[in-house]
Amino acid sequence: MKVICEKQRLVDAAANVSRAVSAKNTLAALEGVLLRAHGNCLSLTGYDLELAISTDIPAEVIEQGEIVLSARLFLDMIRRMPSEEVSIHSDEKLLTIIKGQMTEYTILGIPASEYPELPAVAQAEMLELSQSVLKNMITQTLFAIAISDSKPVHTGSLFDIQDGEMNVVSVDGYRLALRREKINYEKALSFIVPGKSLSEVAKLLRDEENEIEVNVSKRHIIFRIGNYHVVSRLLEGEFLDYKAAIPTGGQTSIRISTREFISAIDRAALLISDNIKSPLRLRFEDGLIKISCSTAIGKAYDEIGCSQSGDNVEIGFNSRYMLDALKASEGDEIQLVMNGPLSPIKLMPLEGDSFTFLVLPVRLKSE
């Protein structure tokens, strides 16, 4: 294989596909990037048996061929090249020379035949989604995906499509995030995408209105984003009945500035750390939110104004979970809805229902 390509394009492509490469794997080829020179382009692929990212970049192909190179080494080498062009030349013994101007590296590659084949997606349903909308839906729900795999199905987000509306739902046992959007797809479709895959997809999506293609089969999903293809396995299992989990109505409704609320919680939570855990105590009372916290280090108190309708209520919650939900919400103001001290706090936009976040309360000890 012998190929010459523009350095910056190669660096960008290698960096993006490397995010799907296994850091440590019993199969050495999976710690590498598959390079394939064909036609007038160079294809790069990273794959960890669950997630694959591949792309093509323009190149001058002098000799067609394919090889697997260590992802970490290859990326570090080309990043440091002082030239605008990089040439890659590997011989039949897999000895590979990577060269730019006067800088030259020689490394041993791995046969492409040892690289596992990417899953083929057959009998797929096709969706067309706006890049900016999909990016927004993922980033607004990613924070509530479960990290541990006590229930593996919750380490991903549920995509639930019915009657031309797509709901993206994440849940981790302490909170729930739901994002709704109308889409141009009339069938019913439901699938669960792993959180890691969604995180990588979000990094490739741009804040643009142009549409991308998504193909969904029984076990896999492909996102076609520009000249990138992201292939991910889907999670199988019974996802939480999110519609039943979201409480209806509310005895107390609060309207508040999102930024002011975030700042007040940040100030009161200064006494809380990973080692010193304590809930924040909120007292919603006659148009005031009284925020207090008591830990082994000391006490904090703050208060801010709000617009309140309904009963006064005192409720406790994990400060980080509330901050994550507030930072993921849209708009200058937000609505909080509660059904007493032991019911989840529901965060919603002032108008419409484009998102719903739930944060479960913490039972407070009497002071």
Burial class, 42, CB count within 10 angstroms (exposed 0-12 / middle 13-18 / buried 19+): buried
Task: Give the pLDDT score at 165.
Answer: 96
Q: Which residues of the chain have pLDDT under 50?
A: none
C-alpha to C-alpha distance for 345 and 204, rounded to whole angstroms: 33
Reported as a single tens digit per residue, the pLDDT across 88-126 is 999 999 999 999 989 999 999 999 999 999 998 888 899
C-alpha to C-alpha distance for 344 and 239, rounded to whole angstroms: 19
5: which residues sit within 8 A by CB, 6+ positions away?
A: 42, 57, 58, 59, 60, 85, 86, 88
Task: Give the pLDDT score at 318.
Answer: 93
C-alpha to C-alpha distance for 177 and 141, rounded to whole angstroms: 5
Strand pairing category for 41-47 and 32-38: antiparallel
Task: Give the pLDDT score at 367.
Answer: 52
Please tell me the pTM assigned to this model: 0.93
Task: Give the pLDDT score at 101.
Answer: 87
Strand pairing category for 65-70 and 60-63: unpaired
211 φ, ψ to 5°?
A: -90, 150
Task: Give the pLDDT score at 26.
Answer: 81
Report the 3 state secondary structure along 223-284: EEECCEEEEEECECCCCCCHHHHCCCCCCEEEEEEHHHHHHHHHHHHHHCCCCCCCCEEEEE
Reported as a single tens digit per residue, the pLDDT across 241-298 is 999 999 988 899 999 999 999 999 999 998 887 776 788 999 999 999 999 998 888 9
